[in-house]
Amino acid sequence: MAGSLGKRFRRAAPTIAVVLAFVVGGVSLWQALGIVGHLRSEARNQTRIFGSIVAALQDTTPELQMDQLIAIVGQITETGIPLILTDPSGAVTVCRNLSIEPDPCDLASGNLLDPQILAVARDLAESNPPLTIPDSSRIYFGSTDAGKQLTLLAVLQLAVLAVAVSAGIWGYRSAAHLHRDRLWVAMARESAHQLGTPLMSVAAWIERLRDAEPDTKKIAKHLRADLDRLERVASRFERIGRPARQERVGMGSLTARVATYFQPRLPRHANRIALTVDAPSAGPMVSGDPVLLEWAVEALVRNSIDALSGRGGRIDAVVRREGDMVILIIEDDGPGIGIEVRDTLFEPGVTTKSGGWGIGLALANRIIEDVHGGRLRFESIEKGARFVAELPALVG
């Protein structure tokens, strides 16, 4: 049950990631609009207080000056900023906007000696250092509602960011799981594909024996070849995950062996496919794992066979040495490879065949480049496709 639920979540990961992206975008937009509104409100309040102060300074009438100063104090009170004014001895002389009930700052019924006021002053001092005015009095102040909301928005932003990062990590891990699952499926399909050719071939030889085929020695030879191939296929999958061997391998003889197996199993009449090898008798030599290298060459040849399926054509395998490198060329005169997939041709899952899993070329690339330090590339030709593998030549 838990495994099934986990698979459902992994499948839904892309959708969840998109939804979270919209949520993050919406919250960010809401935050931005809220911040802009608070800043505008603060600007209006500060401008109004500034205008009142300038008017009070310009008015020379003592009575009006006092009224204007009282009005300024009222405007500051309306901002909602918690304020506590103490004299040089530390006694509270004025306070406003304290969240204490009943309000000790009320002019009519308040009590400035209330010890809760000094407790609030200490709390305010921890957030904002108090201001000291010339007569050594002190002003303790807090944040406005806008400031508190901005702090809340910042915390919310961090929370949203944490959720987004967590979702990103989860999405990445889910994608990795999906990729790994797909790779295992592709490997299973590849194993079935690898085993399918010799099994069908064995069935055909058996049918010929049932039909009293006189050339039983030749059939027995082919049957032995199919059984050998089945053993090699089984050994290949045993090599997965193990360190690669380092043996002397003649790429000429290895390529010829691959071709020798495929040649009698290729179409000979309708849509005929011809496979030729141009290579030295055994070499040139490389150091590597013969099982894996044969797997890679086979994948390249099979790729060309699949390209010519239903139309026929020619496949040429060439092995030669150039300087410090051994060059293997597999070329066919089939339909070629479309431009749209050339950049991702060696990635797992990329295929131009209907029903294909795109594992053969990815496997060959992994064996040649990652395991043996070589290079595998595709070259576009006038008609068909050409794959060129380069491997470090064995010295001595």
Whole-number pLDDT of residue 209: 66
Q: What is the mean pLDDT of residues 181-186?
A: 56
The verdict on pTM exceeding 0.75 is no
Segment 106-144, tens digit of pLDDT: 777 778 888 888 888 888 888 888 888 777 788 888 876
> What is 313-345 written as a DSSP string?
EEEEEEEEEETTEEEEEEEE-SS---HHHHTTT
**N-terminal to C-terminal alpha carbon distance within the chain:** 60
Whole-number pLDDT of residue 331: 95
Q: Are 319 and 251 in contact (CB under 8 A)?
A: yes
Please give the share of the chain, as a percent, with pLDDT higher than 70.
62
> To 10 degrees, the CA torsion angle through 246, 252, 258, 259?
170
Parallel, antiparallel, or unpaired: how do β-strands 285-288 and 92-96 relate? unpaired
The domain limits of the chain are 82-142, 245-392
Q: Are 56 and 43 in contact (CB under 8 A)?
A: no
User: Sorting pLDDT into bands at 50, 70 and 90, what band is 14?
Assistant: low
**Alpha helices in the chain, H assignment, sequence order:** 2-11, 13-58, 62-78, 115-127, 145-210, 216-239, 251-262, 290-308, 339-342, 360-365
Whole-number pLDDT of residue 285: 93
Whole-number pLDDT of residue 107: 72
Segment 289-308, tens digit of pLDDT: 998 899 899 999 988 998 89
Please give the share of the chain, as a percent, with pLDDT higher than 90.
17
Q: Are 388 and 283 in contact (CB under 8 A)?
A: no
Which amino acid appears at position 380 of this protein? Answer: S
**Assigned token pair, 72:** 């300024």
Whole-number pLDDT of residue 351: 62
Q: What is the mean pLDDT of residues 148-169?
A: 69
> To 10 degrees, the CA torsion angle through 20, 26, 28, 34?
-150
User: Sorting pLDDT into bands at 50, 70 and 90, what band is 250?
Assistant: very high
Q: What is the mean pLDDT of residues 260-270?
A: 83
CATH code for the structural domain at 245-392: 3.30.565.10
Q: What is the mean pLDDT of the chain?
A: 77
Q: Which residues contact 56 (CB under 8 A, 6 or more apart)?
A: 65, 68, 69, 72
Distances from the Cα of 271 to the Cαs of 247, 303, 305, 311, 324, in angstroms? 39, 16, 11, 5, 39
Of 389 and 245, more confident? 389
Whole-number pLDDT of residue 199: 65
Whole-number pLDDT of residue 327: 96
Of 270 and 16, more confident? 270
Q: Are 286 and 394 in contact (CB under 8 A)?
A: yes
